[in-house]
Structure 1
Amino acid sequence: MQALKRTALLATLLLAPLAARAAEFTVGAELPLTGSLARVGAGMHEGVMVAAEVFNRTNGKHKIKIVTVDDESAPAKAIAAVEKLAGMGAVAITGGYGSNNIAPASGTADKLGLVYMTSGGVDDSLVAAGHRNFFRINNTAGYEKAALGLFADMKVKAVSIVYSTKDATSDLATSVQKALAARGVKVTAHPFDPAITDFKPIVNKIRLQDRPDAVFMVGYENDYVGILRAARVLKPQVKAMVGVWPLATPKMAGEFPDLMPNVYGTALLPYPATFASADGKAFADTYRQLYKKEPDYLGQFGYVQSMLLFEAIARAADKGTVAKGGIAEELRRTDRETLIGRVQFGANGDNIHFSHRMGQHQGKNIVIVWPPQHATGKMAYPAVPW
């Protein structure tokens, strides 16, 4: 009996350090669930929740608890959301959409010593701010490469760029404009105030004066809807309508079926999605289980950013460094293949390997048409929604 007691005591002592290190960590999800960015915020949030489900099922030791606060698509509310989540014990933040919202939110997180992980803002100023706790898995360069690759395959000679004067959209539009001009493509730029709702004057100029091969739209969901509605009425003689985030999604096709046919946008996933890797299958199966629908690229981004964050938290927990800047340090050591390709963070927190793909709405599907090595079908060109 005494021998058994001694054995049990020894086992308890040996397991105690492991038990002490095993813990549940609160991660804050700061996202726009209402307001102008509600659709994209909801899409990213789905990915966050799928990541938590998969992590908690497969990690075997540490657990993640997600606490969500709606930032209402507003910078001031984004700051308040981060502060609220910090007060609730969050060890890190995942989420954010729109560079104008992410900038103040991530700045607040940095002051509070919290890692801020996102895929919702690509403005270069976000990584130039010097925040040691800021990380993102995508950037302007990856979107620019995708747009330029598509236009090269189209062999366009003239492009009209319609873009919101917000930071991220202006940054991308300017970069693409310079690159196209350097290739000898005629480019006409049409900046617009984010508050604009009537795009007919701009589209009419494009129809009567520019007469381009393609229109490149750099904005957000409501902007795309306004531009495409105006174009359906005025019917400019163009060969393609091309956008970026978040346009080539099943949500947009479902809500605006008359506007989306043949429209291009950035998309890492075809729709319906297919995955070959174990990680991809776990993501897709769990997504379908939780939301009873096919995953899209917004969920994919939310999943990847969050899973990388959760893994970093777990590694920091094993080393006892969660409260000592260990999460950020573990993210800086990250270098692995993910559902969006290889992710490795530079000194400024940017993913140095990011490259996007272009998708096109074709019937009820979204087909990846660029780059060729990842294409799931051929682009319909020339082709427009009207």
Structure 2
Amino acid sequence: MSMRKRTSVVLAVACLALCVLGSAAFAADKVIKIGTLFPLTGPCAVAGQRCVAAVETAAEVINNKHPELKVPLAAQEGINGGTKIVLVKADTQGKPDVAKSEAERLYNQEGVYAIIGCYNSSSTKPASAVAERMKKIFMCGCSSSAALTDRNFKYFFRLAPTDKTESAEFTEYFQEINKSQKAGIKTVGFIYENTEFGKHAADEGKAAAKAAGFQIVADVAFTPGATNLNSEVQTLKAANPDAVYGACLGGDYTLWVRSMKQMNWLPKAAINYCTGYQDPIIAKQLGPDGDLFMGGTGYSPEIGAKYMKAVAAVEKLYTKKTTVPFDSDSIQEAVALFILAQAIDKAKTLDVEKVAETLRTTTWDSPLSLGGKVAFGAGGQNMKATSVITQLHGLKYVPVFPKEYAEAKATVPMTPWDKRK
């Protein structure tokens, strides 16, 4: 063989080797970009940061083999034959207009396949509208406004129970303890942040309470991030409702509780939607002052230990990032990524229409959900979403309703401030 021919053969072999190696490298480097859109600054920054950490934990489990974890996709490496998830983070600042513009940026400039967010319902509403307009998937873990799934969107999927669901549960519970514990709850009041979340929660709560025959004697809205709630709490105190429904997030919840202590007033029962009450950090900050308050809860370490055995090992990965356990909000965001990844893996394609249809038509195993399953109904609402009412006792969330989860009777009426140790 001539030198020229030998050189050509060598070059051909080298090119073939490079092509093979290049293909292998491409296969190994297949990625799908998922946006996370949460309040990383502003009044709800701590909650938003924990939600991001939860999504990061889910991505870590999905991208790497974790055969010791008893959750879907943990035993394999990646999805769709090795595709890895890369998270692109964005900050809503807790502001609806910022959430909208950041959603547009994530889809248009960052090229994300889907977005998970936004914690605040007021931010989730415009951000998910961007996704719907662009025919992109939006996974919502914990935003609870019932209005979000009343829009009949095709590409929106929400994991958590709604404020409408919790309002019905709260009211049913008050009816139950009136019978079983002679609680004497006849009048109710509402205190809520003046946002999409707060207004819808209060509206749903008032509708449920009115239908059950309770008299509404106080309707108090406040600006989130307030530095003083004295006038709002004074209004509640003057009306003196037997029970108060609160829609207070983060530091606003802490301020509400401390303002009631400052005025030496408590209703017979106080029950809160969503985080604030659910947040173990806030519970620790309040200490004994937080005792005997109640709220809807989809997860607590106590609930997880008894009903969600698979959570503990995953939570170890999460606590390395946060030093605190999951709360009811953050764990829903982890579930959002697990369900989306399962849908992509099952559909065996990134075609949005096919993945969205797979999400809508499948009942998913979800060991990190209290009900153990996820199934989306009209408007993208998870019809398997489960919540229990708990009461805080010494930093422990004790389930009190419904009966199948109850471990104790709630202390009602609440012990007055001046009689607490």
TM-score when normalising by structure 2? 0.79
Q: Distance in 2 between matches of 1:345 and 1:136?
A: 8
- Residues 291-338 of structure 1: per-residue CA shift (max 9 Å, x gap): 44332222221111121011112223x2x3x14422212211231342
1:143 counterpart = 2:166: yes
1:121 to 2:151 alignment: no
The corresponding residue for 1:49 is 56
Deviation at 1:25, TM superposition (A): 1.2
Deviates more, 1:251-260 or 1:88-97: 251-260
Q: Confirm or deny that 1:184 pairs with 2:207.
A: no
Tell me: CA distance 1:20–1:270, structure 2 relative to 1, closer, same or farther (3 Å).
closer
Counterpart position of 1:134? 156
**Contact 1:26/1:66, CA 8 A, preserved across alignment:** yes
- 1:306 aligns with 337
Question: Is 1:99 paired with 2:127?
Answer: no
Q: Which residue of 2 aligns with 1:64?
A: 85
Pick the aligned partner of 1:40 from 38, 47, 54: 47
In structure 2, the partner of 1:348 is 379
SS of residue matched to 1:131: coil
Determine if the alignment matches structure 1 residue 77 to structure 2 residue 77: no
Q: Percent identity?
A: 25
Q: Is the contact made by 1:159 and 1:216 (CA closer than 8 Å) also made in structure 2?
A: yes
SS in 2 for 1:274: helix
Residue type at the aligned position of 1:248: Q
Query: Aligned partner of 1:226: which letter?
Result: L
Amino acid at match of 1:363: G
Q: Tell me the TM-score normalised to structure 1 length.
A: 0.86
1-structure distance, mates of 2:236, 2:104? 45
Once the two structures are superposed, the pairs formed by residues 156-195 of structure 1 within 5 Å of their partners are: 156-194=185-223
Alignment check: 8 A CA contact 1:25 1:65 kept: yes
SS in 2 for 1:254: helix
2:354 corresponds to 1:326: yes
Cα shift readout 1:257-280 (whole Å, capped 9, x = no counterpart): 354222112212233441555643
Kindly state the Cα deviation for residue 249 of structure 1 after the two structures are TM-superposed.
Answer: 2.1
Change (3 A) 1:371 1:276: closer
Deviations for 1:28-48, whole angstroms, at most 9, x for unmatched residues? Answer: 111111112212212322221
Residue 152 (structure 1) aligns with: 175
- 1:82–1:108: 8 Å Cα contact kept in structure 2? yes
- The CA deviation at 1:143 is 1.7
Aligned to 2:301, what secondary structure does the other structure show? Answer: coil
Counterpart CA distance in 2 for 1:265 and 1:385 is 19
Greater Cα offset, 113-122 or 282-291: 282-291
Change (3 A) 1:305 1:145: farther
- Structure 1 counterpart of 2:410, one-letter code: M
Instruction: Please point out which of 401, 406, 420 is paired with 1:370.
Output: 401
Partner of residue 251, structure 1: 281
Contact 1:250 1:296 in 2 (8 A): yes
Matched, 1:267 2:289: no
Larger radius of gyration: 2
The one-letter code of the counterpart of 1:263 is F
- Post-superposition Cα deviations, 1:317-370, rounded to whole Å, max 9, x if no partner, equal x2x3x1442221221123134213232112421122333212222112222222
Question: One-letter code of the match for 2:285?
Answer: E
Q: How far did residue 374 of structure 1 move?
A: 1.4
Contact 2:260–2:266 (8 Å) recurs in 1: no
Give the AA of the match of 2:234: N
Structure 1 pair 22–334 and aligned structure 2 pair: CA distance change class (3 A): farther
Is 2:228 aligned against 1:198? yes
Q: What count of residue pairs does the alignment treat as equivalent?
A: 369
- Secondary structure of the residue that 1:201 maps to in structure 2? helix
1:174 CA displacement: 2.0
**Counterparts of 1:358 and 1:107 in 2: how far apart (Å)?**
31
For structure 1, the 5+ residue unaligned runs are: 1-12
| 8 Å CA contact 1:313, 1:327 repeated in 2 | yes
